[in-house]
Amino acid sequence: MKRVLVYIDEDAVEDSIDLLEVGRLIYGDKGFCSYALAAGVRYGAAGSLFDYMFQVKNGALPNYDTATIARCIEFLHRIYCFDAIVVPATHCGRMIAPRAAMRLHAGLVADVTGIGTDGDEVLMVRPAFSGRMLATVVCRGSGPVMMSVRPRVFTYEEPVLKSAEIIDVDVQDMKTPGIQLIERREKSEARDIRTSEVLISGGGGVIRDFHLLERLAEALHGMVAASRKVVDMGKAPRAIQVGQSGKIVSPRLYIALGISGSAQHVAGIRDAEYIISVNTNRQAPICSMSDIVVEGDSRAFVEGLLNRIEASNTQNSGDQKR
Ligand SMILES: Cc1cc2nc3c(=O)[nH]c(=O)nc-3n(C[C@H](O)[C@H](O)[C@H](O)COP(=O)(O)OP(=O)(O)OC[C@H]3O[C@@H](n4cnc5c(N)ncnc54)[C@H](O)[C@@H]3O)c2cc1C
């Protein structure tokens, strides 16, 4: 029976469990034996979905100690000879997977978004060139099929309920973690820009007036987003960056203010339904993919639109009183 190891990221337990679907897509009806390795102690619902869960006896496994976790994966593979090792492409997962692959001298396909098979060969689909192309990578040869998988692409369909057996392991050569947790700060309760239907996004052309965007976002019941330039200059938090190295968004309305439309930025807005761009340069790349282009100054646009919205709100409330 084929063996599949899934790494459970304690910051994305449910998404990690969903990676059982990857095993199902590869091995189909022939079935497979599923093993879970969790960092920390959060196994979530894994206990009723996996066949085996590893419990490392001789050391804590903090999620961020990626080198130690990679060592554990290597150690377990040497004993259990997994056919596939699947890691969620989360922040930590993206660091663990290549380290483990290097230790195992195995190939790694990163950020997989699709799985197929061709006879006994496993086909892994991943975005390439900032998402403009999809590459299908074929796994040939011996060694485990190793991949990191983009979270929330797969859902474990028709889960089979089981009762996982706990396997206690003493990992050899476990070093004292070189990383120490000094302080944990809770994430702010700010909403995720991916959930907003309206995004008011600012770039290099609106840096000095970035604070104005919040008012417009509020008036349009949306959220503020930013290009990487604004984030790199410390004017906006990384959590609201849109693009290849930020978030991929799909709002109904995306207003791009002073954003040039680099390939890396555009990679994050391909699924936006309607794009309005405001730019002093009509030739900026974002203009060619916008539904409406406003040629002009971002600040003037924001102030003008705010005035119009406020005037219309005042008129509406006056009409209601009458
Ligand atoms: C590996 C890698 C990953 C990256 N990932 C991302 C990513 O995830 N997201 C991202 O955004 N970038 C990313 N980048 C950076 C990207 O290449 C660009 O440098 C960045 O997107 C430029 O940001 P911008 O368009 O806001 O600024 P600029 O390039 O400075 O463009 C400013 C635009 O504003 C216009 N403008 C100027 N003044 C005004 C005004 N007063 N009113 C209106 N318009 C005005 C200009 O005509 C111009 O088009 C990445 C780069 C690399 C190498």
Question: Are both 202 and 126 inside the same structural domain?
Answer: no
Helix 66-80 to helix 91-104 angle, to the nearest 10 degrees? 50
Q: Is the model's pLDDT at 184 over the cut of 90?
A: no
Question: Are both 50 and 156 inside the same structural domain?
Answer: yes
**Least confident residue range of 26-35, 249-258, 297-306:** 26-35
Give the span between the Cα atoms of 258 and 249, in whole angstroms.
Answer: 18
- Give the domain-ending residue among 153, 169, 185: 169
pLDDT in tens, 110-162: 999 999 999 889 999 998 876 678 999 998 878 899 999 998 889 998 778 88
- What is residue 321's predicted lDDT score, i.e. its pLDDT? 63
Question: Are both 42 and 162 inside the same structural domain?
Answer: yes
Q: Is the model's pLDDT at 241 over the cut of 80?
A: yes
- Give the domain-ending residue among 106, 135, 169: 169
Q: What are phi and psi of 121, to 5 degrees?
A: -85, 140
Question: Are both 197 and 132 inside the same structural domain?
Answer: no
Mutate to test the pocket of ligand 1, among 129, 244, 269, 289 (most ligand atoms within 8 A of CB): 244
Question: Are both 155 and 199 inside the same structural domain?
Answer: no
Cβ of residue 249 lying under 6 Å from some atom of ligand 1: no
Cβ of residue 297 lying under 6 Å from some atom of ligand 1: yes
Give the span between the Cα atoms of 200 and 255, in whole angstroms.
Answer: 5
| CATH code for position 218 | 3.40.50.1220
Domain of residue 203, residue span: 193-313
| CATH code for position 146 | 3.40.50.620
Give the span between the Cα atoms of 35 and 43, in whole angstroms.
Answer: 12
Cβ of residue 227 lying under 6 Å from some atom of ligand 1: yes
Report the number of distinct structural domains present in the chain: 2
Question: Are both 198 and 117 inside the same structural domain?
Answer: no
